[in-house]
């Protein structure tokens, strides 16, 4: 990981974070310290906030959370508001994380909106014809 690269921390319920990070590592071959998983399993708000801080690397961080108003997101927002150089993106998905690992050298003000857009662009649907 280059000195200026952003570290990603995926914070989610159960094994969601581990599964997403494993998939990204498998597809992109990224080094382990670039993107790390963190589960909220068995953790209250204060313990989850502490675990997030312990997951930090040097420099800038982006905290990816699974739900926009869940316990993971609320803890991430508490930590981000008190810590310089930390962004938060909610609704994490695989397209978003894949873009992140290839663009983590960007500044947070450019990277956060880009990741939100890539995450939305990765959602597609099919509706069968009525009748």
- pLDDT tens digits, one per residue of 26-58: 999 999 999 999 999 999 999 999 999 999 988
Query: pLDDT confidence of 2, banded at 50, 70, 90?
Result: low
Q: What region does 42 belong to: left with phi over 0, alpha with psi -120 to 50, or beta? A: left
Superfamily of domain 7-121: Phosphotransferase system, mannose-type IIA component (3.40.50.510)
Q: What is the pTM of this model?
A: 0.94
Helix axes 45-55 and 71-82, enclosed angle (nearest 10): 60
- pLDDT tens digits, one per residue of 53-98: 999 988 999 999 999 989 999 999 999 999 999 999 999 999 999 9
């Amino acid at each position: 990981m280059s000195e200026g690269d952003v570290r990603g921390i995926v914070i989610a319920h159960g094994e969601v974070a581990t599964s997403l990070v494993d998939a990204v590592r498998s597809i992109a071959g990224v080094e382990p310290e670039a993107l790390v998983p963190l589960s909220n399993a068995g953790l209250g708000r204060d313990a989850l906030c502490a675990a997030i801080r312990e997951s930090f690397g040097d420099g800038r961080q982006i905290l990816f959370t699974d739900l926009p108003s869940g316990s993971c997101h609320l803890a991430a927002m508490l930590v981000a508001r008190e810590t310089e150089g930390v962004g938060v993106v909610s609704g994490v998905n695989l397209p978003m994380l894949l873009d992140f690992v290839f663009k983590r050298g960007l500044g947070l003000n450019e990277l956060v909106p880009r990741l939100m857009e890539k995450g939305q662009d990765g959602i597609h649907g099919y509706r069968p014809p009525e009748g």
